[in-house]
Structure 1
Amino acid sequence: MFIAMNRFKVKTGSEAEFERIWRERDSHLAEVPGFVSFDLLKGATKEDHTLYASHSLWRSKSAFEDWTRSEAFRAAHRDAGANKVHYLGHPEFEGFEAVLSQRGA
């Protein structure tokens, strides 16, 4: 398994709009081979921002990399630049290969 995360520092007051954008966008993920799941996570609020992370789970690192080179990826990120007004800085990518996994019953 491979976990891909982007961390966003969302400006105070922009949280609802940021969440709306993610909720209403067409991610095109359901059609991508190797995609398992997606979550948008909301973290701590600081004086000037709230921390968010997009968290996607993939069957392999290569499946994720194939997605980043696909037409579906380009379509899903087509309007991303227009939303920069809501962020402090750039999103920060973090990728992790699972070395141990446990699941509930």
Structure 2
Amino acid sequence: MFFAMNRFRIVVGHEEAFENIWKGRDSSLADMPGFQSFHLLRGDTNAEEGYTLFASHSVWASKDDFTAWTKSENFRQAHKNAADNRAIYLGPPKFEGFSLVEGA
């Protein structure tokens, strides 16, 4: 099992726009072999630094399945307009990938 996460720092005041981008996109994740689940998570706001933390969290049967997604046409289509909203991000997203060690 492989967990793929991206952390996003979203400029305060643009949280709803960011959420709507994710809710409105057609990711086709469910069509990909090995895909198991997806969640978009909202964290705390750091008013001092001017951002709200978000994380995308997807679960895959294997790292190879996730890698295949990142090289797919579905991935390209899901991310084709990402640069259009650059102003709402405080820096680029930070990717983190994890393999399952133990789970229940």
Shorter-chain TM-score above 0.5: yes
List per-residue Cα deviations over 1:57-79 (Å, max 9, x = no partner): 00000000011011111011011
2:61 is aligned, of 59, 72, 82, to 59
Report the 3-state secondary structure (helix = DSSP H, G, I; strand = E; otherwise coil) of the residue aligned with 2:91: coil
User: Offset of 1:85 from its aligned partner?
Assistant: 1.1
Hey, what does 1:99 align to over in structure 2? Answer: 101
Structure 2: 5+ residue stretches without partners: none
User: Offset of 1:29 from its aligned partner?
Assistant: 0.4
User: Offset of 1:83 from its aligned partner?
Assistant: 1.4
User: Offset of 1:30 from its aligned partner?
Assistant: 1.0
Structure 1 runs, 4 residues or longer, greater than 6 Å off? none
Report the 3-state secondary structure (helix = DSSP H, G, I; strand = E; otherwise coil) of the residue aligned with 2:103: coil
Hey, what does 2:84 align to over in structure 1? Answer: 82
Report the 3-state secondary structure (helix = DSSP H, G, I; strand = E; otherwise coil) of the residue aligned with 1:89: coil
Give the CA RMSD over aligned residues: 0.5
Alignment pair present for 1:44 and 2:44: yes
Q: Distance in 2 between matches of 1:24 and 1:93?
A: 22
User: Offset of 1:84 from its aligned partner?
Assistant: 1.2
Hey, what does 1:35 align to over in structure 2? Answer: 35
Q: Distance in 2 between matches of 1:16 and 1:87?
A: 13
Report the 3-state secondary structure (helix = DSSP H, G, I; strand = E; otherwise coil) of the residue aligned with 1:94: strand
Q: Percent identity?
A: 55
Amino acid at match of 2:79: H
Report the 3-state secondary structure (helix = DSSP H, G, I; strand = E; otherwise coil) of the residue aligned with 2:64: helix
